[in-house]
Amino acid sequence: MIKPHTKLNMNRQQRSLLINCIVVLSVTSIGVLVMINLKDFVNRSEAMRAMNHLSRVVSDYRKEYGLIPPESYVDRIKQNLEGAIRLGDLHYRARWIDLESTPNEILAYAEKKYPSSFLPSGYVVLRLDLRIEWMDKNVFEKLLAQQQKPDEIKLQHQHF
């Protein structure tokens, strides 16, 4: 027969073991969440850095030739941008920029999706005045729709 104080000790040991397991699982879960968000934050920062590098390339080209580079030029150099792998699918809109375009016109953009993160999904955007910014998906889509010409929309729908 088990003595009552031994049974009490086993319950204390079991309770202690259970609490330790819960603490370890909680700390591990929090650590995994932090790592996922850190990865997404670094990914977003690298995409911003690549867009910043593109901004410098466009600026240099503009200084030398007096206009923004054509899409073919950007296509050739985009793999050499710092952090280009994090940029993803870059959309460069030079063919839709004309003399009536304002400095706020979107020149280039790349969508960044973060489904498993606390970071919101959105777009890394390069404006015609060479400002780089992060835009919420809804804000970006509304702004782009206002700036797009019918031919651009038609071409975009053909590709998707």
pTM for this entry: 0.76
Pairwise CA distance, residues 148 & 153, whole Å? 7
Structure confidence by residue, pLDDT tens digits, 53-99: 999 999 999 999 999 999 999 999 988 888 777 788 899 999 998 88
85 closest CA partner among 46, 118, 117: 46
Give residue 136's pLDDT: 92
Pairwise CA distance, residues 100 & 118, whole Å? 39
Q: Does the pLDDT at position 6 exceed 60?
A: no
Positive or negative torsion for Cα 123, 128, 129, 130: positive
Q: Does the pLDDT at position 44 exceed 90?
A: no
**pLDDT range class, residue 117, cuts 50, 70, 90:** low
Give residue 100's pLDDT: 85
Give residue 83's pLDDT: 77
More confident residue, 150 or 8: 150
Query: Measured between alpha carbons, how far apart are the two ends of the chain, in Å?
Result: 76
- Ordered by start, the domain boundaries in the chain are 36-159
Pairwise CA distance, residues 40 & 119, whole Å? 7
Lowest mean pLDDT among 1-5, 87-91, 136-140, 149-153: 1-5
More confident residue, 156 or 108: 108
More confident residue, 104 or 33: 104
